[in-house]
Amino acid sequence: MSDGAQSAGRRQQVVPAGILLLLALWVTYVSFDVSDPQPYLFPRLIALAMLGLAALAFLRALRGRDRTSSGLDPKLLREIAPGLALMALYIFLAAEWLGFYAASTLAFLALYSLYDPASHAAPRVWARRLAVTAGFMLVLYGVFALLLRVQTPRGLLF
């Protein structure tokens, strides 16, 4: 492999890992920058785990040990871009405006529909999507509200 190809391959591994590390740092900072720390215990634990794994991935990419794929190619980026945009809307707008559970329901259904290869014209497929979404939301509610007793953002709906 030529030096140019090796450098490009390493850059394709380091850049996404670096972006992930920056995101993990931001999430960790936000989870610790609160006035009442009690409700944020679970998010802090998850943020610290995310930070540790992101740092490990970044170090492995810097050392050239993560050569499992060709990196983030433009075709893959075009395929995941709609999902990333949807998640950004969910995180930065919908969860706060609509409330956690309403926004999560809409985001999950939208993501499921976006990446489900089944027909978008078949009523049975939509019934399955709605049933899976309802089941997922019941599990999410059970984990966050009943088991962990985490405060979730409340909005217009709930």
Asked whether residue 3 falls in the same domain as residue 57, the answer is: yes
Instruction: Say whether both 157 and 80 belong to one domain.
Output: yes
Q: What is the pLDDT of residue 6?
A: 58
Average pLDDT of every residue of the chain: 85
Q: What share of the chain is helix, strand, coil (3-state, %, to 5)?
A: 75, 0, 20
- Look up the domain containing 31 and give its range: 1-72
Which range is least confidently modeled, 2-6, 41-45, 91-95? Answer: 2-6
CB 77 within 8 A of CB 15: no
The values of phi and psi at residue 99, to 5°, are 105, 155
Banded pLDDT at 69 (limits 50, 70, 90)? low
| Length of the chain counted residue by residue | 158
Q: Are residues 49 and 88 in the same domain?
A: no
How far apart CA 132 and CA 155 sit, in angstroms, is 24
pTM of the model: 0.65
The tens digit of pLDDT for each residue in 93-135 reads 888 899 999 999 999 999 999 999 999 999 999 999 999 999 9
Q: Are residues 45 and 97 in the same domain?
A: no
Is 67 found in the same domain as 126?
Answer: no
Digit-coded pLDDT (tens) for 73-87:
788 889 999 999 999
Pair (26, 78) in one structural domain: no
DSSP structural state of residue 127? H
Residue 45: band (very low, low, confident or very high) from pLDDT cuts 50, 70, 90: confident
